[in-house]
Amino acid sequence: MSMQRARVARRIAAAAAYGGGGAGLLGGAALGLLLTEVALARRVVGGHNEAPPHADGRYGSAFVHRLGREPLLLGVLGDSTAAGQGVHRPRQTPGALLASGLAAVAERPVELRNVALPGAQSYDLERQVAQILAGPDRVPDVCVIMIGANDVTHRVPYARSVRLLSEAVRRLRGAGCEVVVGTCPDLGTIEPVYQPLRWLARRLSRQLAAAQTIGVLEAGGRTVSLGDLLGPEFAANPRELFGPDNYHPSAEGYATAAMAVLPTLCAALGLWPEDERPDAARREGILPVARAAAEAAAEGGTEVTPTGRGRWALLKRRRRRRLPVPADVAPGPQPSTEGY
């Protein structure tokens, strides 16, 4: 299955590079069944229109006088998962968790700026990148992007989705910003979703995640798979890891995802040991990009990093670091979800 996923992911990425729209992965009958099941699932899944907490601000203030250095600037872009929809406290959002964790590792304050918008598809990344680069502060030191779930549910052609994400990563990298992308989560874990939609959703979301990985690496970014991470752990503990709407993660679910992203976030800034010798015991290795992308899509928390050697990538399974609990940030203006 991973080899087949690798071939399809490479084909999607190639179509994205050459401006193709990308052929659909499902036939007409299967697509009709999928859309019927999606409509039924949406009736079961609770409402999720409440705006996420506003968590922008400074984290790690205890370090402000220690080194006398200006704060690191962390940008967060993407959809409702990046925004933290489904929780009620700023400190429970993935942006706050990552900013607090990054501050603890760097022993340096971190300024968080989150422009993610619930309901966003990859089409919205161009606007979000412009917004984050036009902010009152300097260009972010590093940006985290979480995107893809709405592309799957709204049938955005995969090649177009990957191309839009790649362009966003390339633009941020060109501005001097490191980029870490949390690839499309496994939509087959949503509790009210039944077969055959569950199988189809898992297949489609993992295929997009693999193709995203190829596009991001070619644009100079790094990826962390959120797919399987939000799979067995979420499936085994749906009451703990899903929020009240049974769709978005709970506070514990966001912490699980943030713990997986944090090591790669720190490594991108040179704050994490970069041992280029893969650990065979952890099934790490330097693999063809498409194969590394396919393997990562099937196992959450797996990082894929460019090696600078053509179509080869380093696949790593970094050990997760326990996240410090951030203090709440004074609430600011809430983002609008109108039209999404």
What is d(CA 272, CA 319) in angstroms, rounded to the nearest whole number? 11
In sequence order, the 6+-apart residues with CB closer than 8 A to the CB of 165 are 122, 125, 145, 147, 148, 181, 212, 215, 216
Burial of 273 (0-12, 13-18, 19+ CB in 10 A): exposed
Q: Assess whether 248 carries a catalytic annotation.
A: yes
Any idea what the Cα angle at residue 78 is, between residues 48 and 304, rounded to 5°? 125
Identify whether the C-beta of residue 229 lies closer than 8 Å to the C-beta of residue 256. yes
In sequence order, the 6+-apart residues with CB closer than 8 A to the CB of 146 are 76, 77, 78, 79, 81, 82, 94, 116, 181, 182, 226
DSSP 249: B
**Torsion from C-alpha of 20, 25, 28, 34, nearest 10 degrees:** -120
* DSSP string for 262-285: HHHHHHHTT-S----S--GGGT-E
What is d(CA 147, CA 82) in angstroms, rounded to the nearest whole number? 8
What is d(CA 329, CA 254) in angstroms, rounded to the nearest whole number? 17
The catalytically annotated residue of 80, 122, 166, 205 is 80
Residue found by looking up tokens 């790690």 in the block: 60
Q: Assess whether 161 carries a catalytic annotation.
A: no
Q: Assess whether 122 carries a catalytic annotation.
A: no
Q: Which residues form the catalytic set? A: 80, 245, 248
